[in-house]
Amino acid sequence: MARTHILGFPRIGAQRELKFAQEAFWRGEIDEAALREVGANLRRRHWQAQQAAGLDYVTVGDFAWYDQTLTLSATLGALPARFGFDARALQLQQYFELARGNAAQPAMEMTKWFDTNYHYLVPELGPQTQFDGGVNWILDEVDEARALGYRPKPVILGPLSYLWLSKCPGAPAAFDRLSLLPRLVAAYRSLLAALRQRGVEWVQIDEPALCLDLPANWLAAYQPAYEELADAGVKLLLATYFDTAANHALLACQLPVQGFHIDLVRTPQQLDAWLAALPGDAVLSAGAIDGRNIWRNDLRVTLATLQPLHARLGDRLWIAPSCSLQHVPVSLEGEGKLDPEIRSWLAFATEKLCEVSTLAQGLNEGEAAITASLQASDAAQSSRRQSGRVTHELVQRRLRQVTPEMAQRHSPFVHRIAVQREALQLPPLPTTTIGSFPQTAGIRQLRARHKRGELSALDYLTAIRSEIELAVRKQEALDIDVLVHGEAERNDMVEYFGEQLWGYAFTENGWVQSYGSRCVKPPIIYGDVFRPEAMTVETTRYAQSLTSKLMKGMLTGPVTMLQWSFVRDDQPRETTALQLALAIRDEVADLEKAGIRIIQIDEPAFREGLPLRQADWPRYLDWAVRAFQISAACVRDDTQIHTHMCYSEFNDILPSIAAMDADVITIETSRSAMELLDGFGEFRYPNEIGPGVYDIHSPRVPGVDAMLKLLERACDVIPPERLWVNPDCGLKTRGWPETEAALGNMVQAAQRMRERLAR
Ligand code: GLN
Ligand code: ZN
């Protein structure tokens, strides 16, 4: 009998119950008991769903009050000493302080979980870290599941992945965190022993680091570490996901563990390597259902690939989603407004549970036992394949007409910039902002009332226009050189455009946890993307009409549109990126026609699209750069293209950033004290740059001198004639008073620097 399980379930709840309870607790509106009650209910409901679907195990340990990596740190007793907390007696209040900071200490660092949009709290370790035990929450949860009559399979992040994802701030440079492994493994041993005492048979131990380019000494550390865990008395299922671990199949299969989970959705081709290496008594958990995307599985096709595997492995085959389901929304149930045809193509976490168990039933009892499910699956697949909404001849024709020249500006940058300087007549070190101005409560209310039908389209438009006028007047008063309209009409930089494009669908409750209590609702790209009409031209033209200064048009780039959506799985990502690029390109052309001289195409998600393995980078960079170029390169030489990226780690992809060939790039630099600029300086980045001179994430108003210092540093590495002056990112999360004060100082800093340069 093939067994069934999942690697994890979304913890936030179908109605974001956890988010609202967390936030109420932070505001002091509910006490710890009430918060715990919400968590317990969610766990119970999610186990119940797994049981109801017929899975053989319920997964425990995927729940966390904020983040599962932070919970593991608290479990192991590896909390940053600077907080002074006792891990064994940790209160929820303190747990949240680790994640969010408190009056005395900044929060632990948070960063992206592999190539997902989820953020985990980076374990903060050092030579002194003892790992001598902490909270017992996972044990309590195992008890809880048992008491409810379920068979729990706990999941924990494995020791090498945990250590790999950790950092040792403040440790001596010579300190190698791998030296912590023996102590860490001892803590894992105790944890596994405690789980065994609670009657646990299998533990899923996640080692996604095996899918990265790990150094040889880290790879070599697997064997001794897992030898130490071998006699803990529980069976270990070593799980990898998000990419192939085929190159380490031999190594993994020599570890004293009892089973392996692999991601057969992302990299089905790794199967053979694993089958060749798999010990005769080991379990193979086939990650056959996409845990990262929202498409309904083609059960007939998947069953056909699993049948030979089942014939070969029999009871040793387990069926699962490719990775934890935390990366997809909870349930389709709340999606009554979604077009029924599109809805029939989808499966969220709850629906995927049934897919897993149906596949196992088809294997265990034969195809005939799941005839109805197979027929329903076939119907959904053929509806999706044949639907007139998916493929548009118009878009297909345009794709066929794409030429290499479409990715090239007419003239090289040196020529363009001369014409642009002549045409734009900007002062040296021109000042600008990244696009958005404060999204005030007033603006959010306007949108909500308009959505509810309480505010007519005309009244809404008028109100938004007065917000735009306000932003323009304030920028004029501040004497900023290149103005923006402020994005008052946009709820979100992807949704706003997606709503105006063909091929996009939006959910009502399709929330996915991004970090802590923060959730995002990625739109779904289901069909060929096409721009039926101009999206921003009227707004931008209106904004330009208010001022004699230059108004910058503001668009979201194709890679970011792709990266922050659920994307089609029936064509390569790069094809979807190209369709998006053509849509943006049309908008760029229309903005230019409407007299807009500067157009910014934001690509904040460009870097996060990078594949996990460096060997796969060139291919991604190739199509991603081309998509950006195609979106931008239709303009005349004297139209200036800006782009914006808000992160500080791209020294390793600078050649690609340069190849995008934006005339101006604005980047995040103030938090890293402009370290990043060194990379730009060394590489001799050829075009113009606006290094952010102040951090918009903090309400603190930076002084003129601080910004001047950053500008001086910038002038050291970049020729001043190629420098712009701007904040790090958009200002939508800020209030007006601090925004005006900070921008006022920024303009003064630019002024002072200009005077110095003139001397
Ligand atoms: N133009 C956008 C804004 O200013 C850019 C946002 C971003 O970089 N994430 O809000
Ligand atoms: Zn930004």
Confidence band of 648 (pLDDT split at 50, 70, 90) = low
For residue 110, give the 3-state DSSP assignment. Answer: strand
Beta strands of 57-116 (E only): which ranges?
Answer: 58-60, 110-112
Residue with CA closest to ligand 1 atom 9: 604
394 membership: H or E segment, kind and range: helix 393-400
Inform me whether the pLDDT recorded for 705 exceeds 80: yes
Residue 2: the pLDDT is 97
CB neighbour class for 482 (10 Å; exposed up to 12, middle 13-18, buried from 19): buried
Q: What amino acid occupies position 601?
A: I
Confidence band of 683 (pLDDT split at 50, 70, 90) = confident
The answer to whether residues 123 and 73 touch, using CB atoms and an 8 Å cutoff, is: yes
Q: Which residues contact 188 (CB under 8 A, 6 or more apart)?
A: 76, 156, 159, 228, 229
Scan for tokens 């799941």, then name that residue. 370
Residue 676: the pLDDT is 64
Inform me whether the pLDDT recorded for 673 exceeds 70: no
Residue 681: the pLDDT is 76
Active site annotation includes 415: no
Structural domains present in the chain: 3-121+131-386 (3.20.20.210)
Q: Which two tokens stand for residue 483?
A: 């103005």
Residue 69: the pLDDT is 98
What residues flank ligand 1, with Cβ below 6 Å?
Answer: 434-436, 487, 493, 554, 602, 604, 644, 646, 729-730, 732
Inform me whether the pLDDT recorded for 358 exceeds 80: yes
Concatenated DSSP letters of 670-715? TTTTTHHHHHHHHHT--SEEEEB-S-TTS-----HHHHHHHHHHHH
Task: Tell me which residue of 567, 553, 568 sits closest to 605, measured CA to CA.
Answer: 567
The one catalytic residue in 261, 310, 327, 697 is 697
- Interhelix angle 222-229/181-197, rounded to 10 degrees, is 30
Integer Cα distance of 232 and 194 in angstroms: 9
Digit-coded pLDDT (tens) for 653-669? 999 999 999 999 999 88
In angstroms, the Cα distances linking 135 to 33, 82, 89, 140 are: 17, 18, 7, 10
120 membership: H or E segment, kind and range: strand 119-121
Residue with CA closest to ligand 1 atom 4: 730
For residue 236, give the 3-state DSSP assignment. Answer: strand
For residue 752, give the 3-state DSSP assignment. Answer: helix
Neighbours of 82 (CB within 10 A): 14
Average pLDDT, the chain: 96
Integer Cα distance of 395 and 374 in angstroms: 32
Ligand with minimal distance to 602 CA: 1
- Work out the average pLDDT over 160-173: 96
Q: What is the atom index within ligand 1 of the atom nearest the CA of 433?
A: 4
Question: How far apart are the CA of 729 and the centre of ligand 2, in A?
Answer: 4
Neighbours of 622 (CB within 10 A): 13
Q: What is the atom index within ligand 1 of the atom nearest the CA of 645?
A: 8
Residue with CA closest to ligand 1 atom 3: 730
Residue with CA closest to ligand 1 atom 6: 730
Residue 675: the pLDDT is 67
Ligand with minimal distance to 493 CA: 1
The answer to whether residues 611 and 620 touch, using CB atoms and an 8 Å cutoff, is: yes
Digit-coded pLDDT (tens) for 540-591? 999 999 999 999 999 999 999 999 999 999 999 999 999 999 999 999 999 9
Digit-coded pLDDT (tens) for 224-267? 999 999 999 999 999 999 999 999 999 999 999 999 999 999 99
Question: Higher pLDDT residue, 671 or 571?
Answer: 571
